[in-house]
Amino acid sequence: MVSMIMLSFLFVAANEPLTLLIARIEHAMIAGSIGQLEQCRQTLLENVAKSSGSEANLMRYTLAYVDWRLYPLLMTDKGKRGEVYIQEAEKQLKELVKAEPGNAEAHALLSTVYGQEIGTSVWEGMVLGPKSSASIDTALKLAKDDPRVALQAGVGAMFTPKMFGGGTEKAEKELRRAEALFSKEPTNTAWPNWGRLDVLAWMGQLLASKGDREGARAYYNRALALEPDYGWVRYVLLPALDNPTKKK
């Protein structure tokens, strides 16, 4: 089966607007701009509706990615837009893995989306936790050496109790593996190619949780060296490191 990454290369090379759209999405993500992400989301909704085949599948993945990025930015929104977006991300990814069962990137992102949907309810954890674990297990079987698969396996392990297969030790192992894989992946690889900043931010958080504040700071500074305007690190994670009693 031809992978989505190979298909995306063919499509992006022939369609410059998608390349520009992805650049806008990543710029908005770095800046934490809800408005810009929502504009990109609307464009993707229109593109999904008028496309088909591998092109539609690529658009579905990108739409789910934007919905997932929007969710944490809208967690305190009283209008519940964030919940609508994360539910839409789940819908798009479920349709994508149905169409492309061998798409490791889609399975990994679906695992992360399931994890985001787990709230404070024990019932949600009982239902969505196994779904999240099954999705990341599938992704690892399909493409263990995909850096985004390793990244999402590591982040998922951070929020999964050790008795259920997670824990800090497993999270650190996967995040360090993801970091090594990203160092080997060309920066100009075809979409999806996100995650280089994420792995630095999450490694910083993991080290901070272990009490290694200087190690965490080093990772945060590496992220800012790549993207000085990375809002999550500059305005959330670094201040939390300097004021550990302050909620993130």
pLDDT tens profile 33-86? 999 999 999 999 999 988 899 999 999 999 999 999 999 999 866 568 889 999
Tokens linked to 194 = 């996100």
Does one domain contain both 146 and 158? yes
- Please give the DSSP secondary-structure letter assigned to residue 210: T
Provide the CATH number for the domain around residue 171: 1.25.40
Note whether 35 and 137 are same-domain residues.
yes
Residue 14: pLDDT over 80: no
117/225 same-domain check: no
Mean pLDDT over all residues of the chain?
89
**Arithmetic mean of pLDDT, 135-150:** 98
The pLDDT of residue 2 is 38
Cβ atoms of residues 197 and 223 within 8 Å: yes
pLDDT band at 161 (very low <50, low <70, confident <90, very high): confident
Q: Are residues 180 and 204 in the same domain?
A: no
- Same domain assignment for residues 138 and 217: no
Indicate the number of domains in the chain. 2
Predicted local distance difference test score (pLDDT) of residue 164: 83
**Are residues 9 and 101 both part of a single domain?**
yes
Q: Same structural domain for residues 131 and 19?
A: yes
Listing DSSP states for 154-179 in one string gives HHHHHTS-GGGT--HHHHHHHHHHHH
Q: What is the pTM of this model?
A: 0.89
By residue range, what is the domain housing residue 201? 195-248
Inter-residue contact 58 to 8 (CB < 8 Å):
yes
Is residue 23 helix, strand or coil?
helix
**78 and 201 share one domain:** no
Average pLDDT on 16-28 reads 87
Residue 131 pLDDT exceeds 70: yes
pLDDT at res. 145: 97
With tokens 């399975």, the residue in question is: 107
The residue type at 49: A
Measure the CA–CA gap between 144 and 131, rounded to whole angstroms: 18
Do 156 and 118 touch, CB atoms closer than 8 A? no
Query: Do 178 and 208 sit in the same domain of this protein?
Result: no
